Amino acid sequence: MSVWLERENPARLGELVGRVPVAEAADVDEAVRAADAAQRSWALTPVAERVEVLRRAAAAFEDASLNEEAAVLLAGESGKPLGDCRGEIRFSAVFLRWVAERAPEVLADVETDDASGRLLLRRRPYGVVAAITPWNAPIILTMLKVGPALASGNTVVVKPSPLAPLAVSRLLALFPSELVKVVHGEAETGAALVGHPLVRKVAFTGGEAAGRAIGALAGQMITPAVLELGGNDPAVFLPDAEFTDAAMDRLVMGSFQSAGQVCMAAKRLYVPAAREAEFRDAYVKAAERVVVLGDPLEETTTVGPVITAQAAERIRGLISVGEAVRLGRVACDPSRGHYVRPTLLTGLDDASPVVADEQFGPVVPLLTYSGTEEVLARANAGELGLGASVWSADEERAFDFARRFEAGFTFVNTHGRTGMALRAPFGGVKRSGHGREYGDEGILEYAQTCSVHAPAAFRAGGAGMAAAAYPV
């Protein structure tokens, strides 16, 4: 008899969105063994044929009625606004098509034949990939793993977050079932998957605690792991930055999209002390324009509830320090769900927990600085180094500053989703993790480069070399 995980709508307490069966260790074993058996023939399928699976999935994601069905599920389980959910599914299709286009070139053999000899570099799949994903952008964060892994000749077993397992399962069912398996459950199911001896690569996105546990277990198994962990992204406004309406709108949504529960949200704002009042005024006005706290299924909502009661309580605790400026408009009864009012905090120093740690919620601190070197040191302080942004009227100045960020990626004059590019690798430095998604690097993550070498000395007509000589 199955044990079930139920998901309640975080915007409508008491409303059940759906449920999934928990996979026991034996179910995980069965899924991995089946994925391993299928992988052998999948690896022999030419890459040009493999990517057709991604194109077919993308076409299905683009179907209007399927998009709507999955988006409604995603909004219900995650609390993200419906428009965002539709967009995430459409963007996932765009990503899969991009991988289908790039993979044949990125994964092609590289052959060299010259005076040194003949060298073949081949991109070999790992085998079975374990993908363990969070709830906050479950569709794209899963496709970032499944797309490149399949294109490279791997098969995949996905363990979605128990907080948003429904929409992603619906969409993963569109892939051939022998190539992509899904197992549901909490940490225990994830650990059974990561610790399985037939899993050859782990791809994880989530928080630091789970990242440490998964990295340690993968290390025990000598299984390589991509770890995409949390961030505490600074947004630095240089003295010449322009606080235009459009720029402020982008910044505000860069902090409050998905109720601030985004790894690359703008989580600390640094502005010149002399311009604090001007900035604050522009920021509050922007929030009036773009932040509407409400039920995710209402079309006008731009910010929904947070994911759980515990998250809401933790975030409200962070708001109890500093001077709080409540932001945006409220278009719902906040007692119906886990709603937290978007808030700007001022009057804090860098040691305050909401500045020093990832808040992962709709509250953002405004900090002031007086010198460029000072703000750079403060932005780079701490153990996390996911994203960052720099804002300036002078692009050269912004790029010079960006070169010195301790961050995996930096946006110029924007922050978050609007700053991303399919070709730009994404991932952290320091304790924000290692490995990359997006870009050619994000495809090569799922292939190991193996070589075949015929030294010139021993090819027909070669002069030979001493039996124990070092190569030159």
Stretch in the footprint of ligand NAD (CB under 6 A) among 110-118, 154-162, 166-174, 290-298: 154-162
Q: Select from 228, 233, 249, 445 the one that contacts ligand NAD (CB under 6 A).
A: 228
Helix 82-106, helix 64-78: angle, nearest 10: 120
Residue 133 binds ligand NAD, judged by CB under 6 A? yes
Stretch in the footprint of ligand NAD (CB under 6 A) among 38-46, 182-190, 239-247, 409-417: 182-190
Residue 425 binds ligand NAD, judged by CB under 6 A? no
Q: Select from 207, 239, 334, 455 the one that contacts ligand NAD (CB under 6 A).
A: 207
Instruction: Report, in Å, the least distance between residue 118 CB and ligand NAD.
Output: 40
CA angle 97, 99, 102 (to 5 degrees): 110
Which residues ranging from 240 to 299 are in contact with ligand NAD (CB under 6 A)?
263
Do 232 and 384 contact (CB within 8 A), yes or no? Answer: yes
Query: Is position 228 annotated as part of the catalytic site?
Result: yes
Stretch in the footprint of ligand NAD (CB under 6 A) among 22-30, 100-108, 222-230, 240-248: 222-230
Residue 156 binds ligand NAD, judged by CB under 6 A? no
Question: d(Cα 208, Cα 308) in Å, to the nearest integer?
Answer: 18
Residue 191 binds ligand NAD, judged by CB under 6 A? yes
Which of 77, 88, 437, 445 does the annotation list as catalytic?
Answer: 437
Instruction: Report, in Å, the least distance between residue 138 CB and ligand NAD.
Output: 9
Query: Is position 437 annotated as part of the catalytic site?
Result: yes
Q: Looking up tokens 């600390």, which residue turns up?
A: 268
Dig out the tokens for 433 from the structure.
């993790």
Which amino acid is located at 337 in the chain?
A: G
Q: Select from 210, 226, 253, 407 the one that contacts ligand NAD (CB under 6 A).
A: 210
Which of 8, 80, 145, 159 does the annotation list as catalytic?
Answer: 145
Residue 181 binds ligand NAD, judged by CB under 6 A? no
Closest CA to 346 of 270, 456, 426, 404: 270
Residue 205 binds ligand NAD, judged by CB under 6 A? yes
Stretch in the footprint of ligand NAD (CB under 6 A) among 1-9, 37-45, 131-139, 453-461: 131-139
Question: d(Cα 139, Cα 129) in Å, to the nearest integer?
Answer: 17
Which residues ranging from 338 to 367 are in contact with ligand NAD (CB under 6 A)?
358, 360
Query: Is position 267 annotated as part of the catalytic site?
Result: no
Question: d(Cα 83, Cα 262) in Å, to the nearest integer?
Answer: 16
Instruction: Report, in Å, the least distance between residue 263 CB and ligand NAD.
Output: 3
User: Under rule CB under 6 A, how many of the chain's residues touch ligand NAD?
Assistant: 31
Stretch in the footprint of ligand NAD (CB under 6 A) among 58-66, 147-155, 209-217, 368-376: 209-217
The residue (of 261 and 392) whose beta carbon lies closer to ligand NAD is 261
Instruction: Report, in Å, the least distance between residue 184 CB and ligand NAD.
Output: 9
Instruction: Report, in Å, the least distance between residue 280 CB and ligand NAD.
Output: 26
Residues that bind ligand NAD (CB under 6 A): 132-137, 141, 159, 161-162, 186-187, 190-191, 194, 205-207, 210, 213-214, 228-231, 263, 358, 360, 386, 428, 433
Which residues form the catalytic set?
145, 228, 263, 437
